[in-house]
């Protein structure tokens, strides 16, 4: 596991209550799920679009269904999970708003993490180099990026605010530091942070 | 002397009320086992066979002398590892490999039942096989699994006995037979019944059997088990041992010759009346309807951990039909995993050497088995 990922997973895990019921949306090869399963709660499910990844999850003993978060979340009843996790995937959906609504319908709470397009390195790439930004949390080139709707920490914060979504916890990951995000420090956090981690509810 | 004298069976003494209203008792269910039942009796897997399968799931079938139908998936060191698990597989009610079926002797008349045999259902099949658990004194199975009609039995089993298995793996199946499924089955049945040798189902009293009809039924069905791409790749328009078309109705094309062969070897091992009865059971299968149009209700009482698999090129029981089961389970918060396996081999993928499928099946079973033991310690 990459250190950077590990850090994110530890923060997410700290936001989850012991033995709660969890859904990991876009669970990849099940790294975060395994971590939670072994440390926080056995009651965890995943949904993942890639067949190869689903098969990897099964080999780790995880309960995962192959499916598309954009069209397959409907099958879960309202509030059927205590926590729904969406790690660094929101920007890859055709309709992130719809997905966010679904996350908050299915989960009593949602944890959404956002690779920050407002980070200063990203801004410099575009400002000085004049090329689309490529960083460690945004490693793709413009022509092969799965990210259709890139946003900044500030964008996501304002978006949730406008939708009257409540922030229970807003955290910014800056190198090794984990800092709180609030309206007053939003500009700074947005400039220096790689990742935003939000625990939200309707 | 019957050819089934040396195969294992239980004689069910209890009364079994069938869906058609009749009650049967004192009837045989033929079965085979692989591996060893451990002392805790917690390593048993009940495997359900498909339409034309039988209890000889792996190794050499002692009657047909052919390989078992699930030889790729089941055996020592395989996905369903018989070094580890105790596997029971029974011939379904209505079958022709030693279980009570239309070729069984009717004690009242001294003749085979033929089409006097009661029409049976998937529900009846499952209830009949449940007696095997009592026979082996197994309180709770580790797993119930099967593909195609075997998968339907898995679903029915969990619906009927919600706490009789820790895990359930229905493969390439459906919760209700579609119009297309019923249509294909009807085609097969009509082929059999149109054969004058069928004689209203009483052919066993004569020296003739409806081999031509049964063979045509098998040929038609066989096409539905394969994908268009796989057929095209294997046969295309290749000619059978000839350089050019013969301008006749002989088997010019390899595909014709292949299907004729499939039909002719099938009649040696399968009974035409069994084919009628079992296809009928499949057509009558509608778990949704049985639970008031809400499939979720079928599994409401169960804590069984499900894992469902479908195949990309299966057009007989395509992925959306398998996903309906997943959706029904998710909507009641059941423990369900699902993956569609990439394969160009069509519906038959579950019987063939499809490494992704075999690996995933094995991984699911082994990790589930380990977890079950962790929990207990």
The torsion defined by the Cα of A150, A153, A157 and A162, in degrees rounded to 10, comes to -30
Q: Using the predicted structure, report yes or no on whether residue A167 has a pLDDT greater than 90.
A: yes
- How far is the CA of A163 from the CAs of A89, A197, B140, B164, in angstroms? 19, 18, 50, 47
- Please tell me if residue A60 touches chain B, with a CB cutoff of 8 Å: yes
Model confidence at A135, pLDDT cuts 50, 70, 90, reads: confident
What pLDDT, on the 0 to 100 scale, is given for residue B109? Answer: 94
Domain covering B9-177+287-376, topology: Rossmann fold (3.40.50)
**Which residues in chain A have their CB less than 8 angstroms from residue B368's CB?**
61
Output the pTM of the full model.
Answer: 0.94
- Please tell me if residue B327 touches chain A, with a CB cutoff of 8 Å: yes
Sign of the Cα torsion A9, A11, A14, A17 reads negative
Residues B115 and B83 sit within 8 Å (Cβ to Cβ): no
User: Distance between CA A44 and CA A34 in Å, rounded?
Assistant: 9
Q: Is the ipTM of this complex over 0.85?
A: yes
Residues B172 and B310 sit within 8 Å (Cβ to Cβ): yes
Q: Where do the CATH 1.10.1740.110 domains begin and end in chain B?
A: 182-279
At B137, phi and psi to the nearest 5?
A: 55, 40
User: Distance between CA A137 and CA A131 in Å, rounded?
Assistant: 16
pLDDT, tens only, A48-101:
999 999 999 999 999 999 999 999 999 999 999 999 999 999 998 999 999 999
> How many C-beta atoms lie closer than 10 Å to residue B104's C-beta?
17
Q: Where do the CATH 3.40.50.1820 domains begin and end in chain B?
A: 9-177+287-376
- Please tell me if residue A80 touches chain B, with a CB cutoff of 8 Å: yes
Question: Residues 144 to 183 of A: which have CB under 8 A from any B CB?
Answer: none
Q: Would you list the domain boundaries of chain A?
A: 3-117+149-201
Exposure letters A110-121 (e unless 16+ CB within 10 A, then b): bbbbbbbbbbee
CATH code linked to domain A3-117+149-201: 3.40.50.150
A63–B339 C-beta distance less than 8 A: no
Q: How would you classify residue A152: left for phi > 0, otherwise alpha for psi between -120 and 50, otherwise beta?
A: beta
Which tokens go with A47? Answer: 């949904």
Which run of H or of E encompasses B232? helix B228-234
**Which residues in chain B have their CB less than 8 angstroms from residue A54's CB?**
337-339
Q: Using the predicted structure, report yes or no on whether residue A112 has a pLDDT greater than 50.
A: yes
Q: Using the predicted structure, report yes or no on whether residue B26 has a pLDDT greater than 70.
A: yes
A58–B360 C-beta distance less than 8 A: yes
CATH of B182-279, one of 3.40.720.10, 1.10.1740.110, 3.40.50.2300, 3.40.50.300: 1.10.1740.110
- Please tell me if residue A202 touches chain B, with a CB cutoff of 8 Å: no
Q: DSSP letter for A128, please.
A: I
Model confidence at B377, pLDDT cuts 50, 70, 90, reads: very low
């Amino acid at each position: 596991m990459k250190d950077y990922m590990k850090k994110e997973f530890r923060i997410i895990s700290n936001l989850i209550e012991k033995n709660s019921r969890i859904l990991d949306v876009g669970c990849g090869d099940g790294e975060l799920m395994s971590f939670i399963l072994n440390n926080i709660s056995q009651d965890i499910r995943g949904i993942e679009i890639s067949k190869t990844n689903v098969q990897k999850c099964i080999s780790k003993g995880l309960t995962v269904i192959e499916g598309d978060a954009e069209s397959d979340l409907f099958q879960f009843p309202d509030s059927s999970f205590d926590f729904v996790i969406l790690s660094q995937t929101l920007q890859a959906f055709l309709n992130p708003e719809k997905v966010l609504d679904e996350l908050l319908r299915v989960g009593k709470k949602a944890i959404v993490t956002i690779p920050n397009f407002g980070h200063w390195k990203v801004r410099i790439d575009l400002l000085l180099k004049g090329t689309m930004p490529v960083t460690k949390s945004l490693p793709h080139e413009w022509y092969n990026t799965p990210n259709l709707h890139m946003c900044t920490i500030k964008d996501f914060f304002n978006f949730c605010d406008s939708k009257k979504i409540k922030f229970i916890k807003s955290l910014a990951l800056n190198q090794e530091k984990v800092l709180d995000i609030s309206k007053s420090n939003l500009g700074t956090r947005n400039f220096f942070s790689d990742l935003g981690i939000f625990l939200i509810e309707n | 002397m019957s050819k089934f004298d040396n195969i294992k069976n239980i004689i069910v003494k209890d009364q079994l009320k069938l869906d058609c209203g009749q009650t049967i008792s004192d009837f045989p269910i033929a079965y085979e086992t692989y591996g060893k039942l451990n002392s805790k009796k917690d390593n048993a897997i009940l495997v359900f066979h498909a339409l034309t399968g039988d209890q000889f799931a792996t190794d050499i079938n002692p009657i047909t002398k052919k390989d078992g139908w699930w030889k790729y998936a089941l055996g020592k060191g395989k996905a369903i590892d018989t070094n580890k698990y105790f596997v029971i597989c029974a011939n379904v009610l209505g079958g022709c490999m030693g279980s009570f079926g239309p070729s069984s002797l009717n004690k009242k008349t001294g003749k085979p039942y033929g089409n006097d045999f009661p029409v049976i259902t998937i529900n009846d099949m499952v209830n009949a096989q449940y007696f095997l658990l009592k026979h082996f004194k197994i309180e709770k199975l580790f797993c119930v699994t099967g593909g195609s009609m075997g998968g339907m039995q898995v679903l029915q089993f969990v619906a009927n006995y919600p706490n009789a298995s820790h895990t359930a793996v229905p493969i390439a199946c459906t919760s209700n037979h579609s119009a297309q499924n019923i249509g294909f089955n009807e085609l097969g049945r009509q082929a059999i019944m149109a054969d004058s040798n069928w004689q209203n189902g009483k052919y066993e009293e004569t020296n003739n059997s409806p081999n031509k009809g049964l063979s045509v039924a098998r040929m038609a069905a066989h096409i539905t088990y394969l994908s268009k791409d796989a057929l095209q790749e294997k046969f295309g328009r290749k000619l059978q041992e000839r350089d050019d078309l013969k301008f006749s109705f002989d088997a010019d094309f390899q595909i014709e010759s292949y299907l004729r062969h499939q039909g002719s070897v099938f009649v040696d091992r399968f009974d035409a009346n069994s084919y009628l009865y079992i296809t009928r059971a499949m057509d009558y299968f509608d778990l949704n309807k049985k639970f008031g149009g809400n499939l979720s209700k079928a599994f409401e009482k169960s804590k069984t951990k499900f894992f469902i698999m479908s195949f990309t090129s299966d057009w007989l029981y395509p992925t959306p039909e398998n996903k309906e089961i997943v959706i029904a389970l998710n909507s009641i918060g059941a423990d369900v995993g699902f993956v569609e396996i990439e394969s160009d081999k069509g519906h038959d993928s579950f019987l063939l050497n499809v490494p992704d499928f075999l690996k995933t099946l094995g991984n699911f079973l082994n990790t589930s088995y380990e977890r079950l033991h962790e929990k207990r310690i």
